[in-house]
Amino acid sequence: MKSLWNEHDAAQFTDDLGLRVYTSRLLGRDSSLVLHGGGNTSVKITQKNILGEEEEILYVKGSGWDLETIDRAGFAPVRMKHLLALAHLERLSDPEMVNELRTNTIDAAAPTPSVEAILHAVLPHKYVDHTHSDTLVTVTNTERGLERIKEIYGDSVVIIPYVMPGFDLARDCALRFALDAGPNTIGMVLLNHGIFSFGATARESYERMIALVDRAERYLQSQNAWTFSLPPVKPAPPSLRRELAALRAQLSQQAGTPFIVSWQDDEKSRAYAAHPETARIAQQGPATPDHVIRTKRLPLIGRDIDGYVRAYRDYFDAHAATAREPKTLLDPTPRVILDKEWGMAAVGHTAKDAAIVRDIYNHTIDVILRAEALGGYRALSARDLFDMEYWDLEQAKLRKGGKPPLFTGEVALVTGAASGIGKACVESLLARGAAVVGLDIDTAIASLHNKAAFRGIHCDITDETQLIAALETAVRAYGGLDMLILNAGVFPPGRRIEALATAEWQRVMRINLDANLVLLREAHPLLKHAPRGGRVVVIGSKNVPAPGPGAAAYSASKAALNQLARVTALEWGGDGIRINSLHPNAVFDTGLWTEDVLAARAAHYGMSVEHYKTNNVLKVEVRSRDVAELAAEMCGPLFAKTTGAQLPVDGGNDRVI
Ligand code: ZN
């Protein structure tokens, strides 16, 4: 492990807090040190308050901020005097502690200080860095963890036996640090939890962290426990989407709410799942206790969801009975699934939650395999992990959670998603909490949104193989398919029938009609497994009820698609799948409407472009977003009892009315 300190970059940060921001980001850049909010940093600064008095303030990472992207505003300023006084209390409940931290910040707009704030305060150094380093938890999660830490560090660290984060840990650290710290102390190791370093400058504290972790890495290397090999495995099955969608349906059904299930079938995941000792090594617990909140204590190995849920309830009952306060059972759904053929799945209420679980478990695999090589992985006891999972601060957070967005945990697929109505549909569905897969022939689709809830796939929908591959990718990414928006289409230049070439007619039919038949057919087994019932929305056209001259191929293709949708409604109602059509007209902010087409159509009706845009009964311009919002709502509860319907979204058209 190497220091990432760079003089040139550091020079942009001139004051104490600025340098705190800089080295915090350096820590955040290494996911083996800091992962998804794990770890925190602080700096102590003496400054004048509004009365002109000198006051020492602890700037400590605020909750909800990640070290990788933290800014000055991410550090909560808390009065040191009060923090040190709190550290001397005999006892303080964790909710009381959080209240004290919040009410003793000097900025009303500050984030809630880290629950480890008191711990930072009691360490008598200007800068304090704390990480949940994979390497440290690897060494300490073994049978002889304590002895190994002593062997690696000698008197350069103070060692703290495991205590759950919160007030008790802060007080323990204060006492032990006062007793054990000597002239050579540059850090503190918290067994089964992580490591602290400290120093007089931002650079010193940061580089001590790097040096300390580097020593542990070298130790693992010297013990042949750094690189590990896994037995070879057979290639992953090429087509799994139906089985995966069925498993997600079962998972969602027992929970009573849809889940995102994100699969990775790389060799490492499959080999780990197939490891002969999986039942022992993977069934102990997470690498560090804060992971239990994301991943739960144990993964599901195999596919017996009911068995997992029963075991989880037993674990809850056994530990809740002896807890100090009453506990409420959390959702017992597994968050990690290991399957020797399918690989590893991360489960979450949202795609972002699932992505976090996936990252954490990928690190967990490394920690477990290295600890195994070192002499045997040994996680915290079920009791300690239960106390963390059911920590009253975490339970309070759950009680606070408001109503989630409409499509939380659901998956939508939109064709023609890179521009116009399709792009707007992606936005409307994302805004309602869905994970969205966008297909488009335009390669720009891949980078349309940079977020866990979006996957853009470059795809020619007239190519059956590509379409099927896209569905496979969609299901592996999110677990299944709940909503389908058939939007992709072409609007060729106006041409009278006597001039319409067969090839052009066929091209329009292939894109606007045939591709949708293939997609519907291939999506059916997936939509059938949608936990809340499958939904399809067809973006039709005003040309269905009121065709225009010069648009024979387009009008005929959309009319045929309309008829296909009506038959679909009849055939699939029994599977709980509903399909409805929208007929937009004159939506000009789309890929179809080039300047030329727009001008030609306006001229055809003898109008200015402006007049043409609002040429409807209500005299309003219909935008992509208007169509998309209606399409999204058609997938929601408002239309729960409607199928086979056609709805105009055209500002009112006298030929349609
Ligand atoms: Zn920690």
The model's pLDDT over 10-28, given as tens digits with 9 standing for 90+, comes to: 999 999 999 999 999 999 9
Q: How many A from CA of 201 to the centre of ligand 1? A: 21
Q: How many A from CA of 288 to the centre of ligand 1? A: 9
Whether the predicted pLDDT of 249 surpasses 90: yes
pLDDT at 621: 93
pLDDT at 277: 85
Q: How many A from CA of 164 to the centre of ligand 1? A: 9
pLDDT at 592: 66
Q: Is 170 exposed, middle or buried (0-12, 13-18, 19+ CB in 10 A)?
A: buried
Whether the predicted pLDDT of 632 surpasses 70: yes
Pairwise pLDDT comparison (165 vs 334), residue with the higher score: 334
Phi and psi angles of residue 187, each rounded to the nearest 5 degrees, phi first: -165, 180
pLDDT at 594: 80
Q: How many A from CA of 650 to the centre of ligand 1? A: 57
pLDDT band at 586 (very low <50, low <70, confident <90, very high): confident
Whether the predicted pLDDT of 563 surpasses 90: yes
Q: How many A from CA of 115 to the centre of ligand 1? A: 9
pLDDT band at 345 (very low <50, low <70, confident <90, very high): very high
Whether the predicted pLDDT of 617 surpasses 90: yes
pLDDT at 377: 94
Annotated catalytic residues are 554
Q: Is 382 exposed, middle or buried (0-12, 13-18, 19+ CB in 10 A)?
A: middle
Whether the predicted pLDDT of 598 surpasses 90: no
Average confidence (pLDDT) over 218-242:
91
**Backbone CA torsion sign across 167, 168, 170, 175:** positive
Q: Which residue bears the tokens 């990414």?
A: 477
Average confidence (pLDDT) over 609-620:
92
User: 173-206: per-residue pLDDT in tens?
Assistant: 999 999 999 999 999 999 999 999 999 999 999 9
Average confidence (pLDDT) over 139-152:
95
Q: How many A from CA of 566 to the centre of ligand 1? A: 57
Whether the predicted pLDDT of 601 surpasses 90: no
Which pTM does this prediction carry?
Answer: 0.94
Q: Between β-strands 54-61 and 40-48, what pairing exists: parallel, antiparallel or unpaired? A: antiparallel
Q: How many A from CA of 207 to the centre of ligand 1? A: 19
pLDDT band at 451 (very low <50, low <70, confident <90, very high): very high
Q: Which long-range contacts (CB under 8 A, 24 or more apart) does 493-500 make?
A: 493/596, 493/597, 493/600, 494/550, 494/551, 494/600, 494/601, 494/604, 495/550, 495/552, 495/553, 496/549, 496/550, 496/552, 497/552, 500/552, 500/553
Of 117-131, 178-192, 268-282, the one with minimum mean pLDDT is: 268-282
Average confidence (pLDDT) over 129-135:
97
Specify whether the CB–CB gap between 595 and 611 falls below 8 A.
no
Q: How many A from CA of 221 to the centre of ligand 1? A: 25
Q: How many A from CA of 598 to the centre of ligand 1? A: 60
Averaged pLDDT score across all residues of the chain: 94
Phi and psi angles of residue 578, each rounded to the nearest 5 degrees, phi first: -115, 150
pLDDT band at 591 (very low <50, low <70, confident <90, very high): low
Whether the predicted pLDDT of 37 surpasses 80: no
pLDDT at 398: 65
What are the C-alpha distances in Å from 618 to residues 603, 649, 650?
Answer: 22, 11, 9
Pairwise pLDDT comparison (592 vs 5), residue with the higher score: 5
CA 209 to CA 211: how far, in whole Å? 5
CA 342 to CA 319: how far, in whole Å? 33
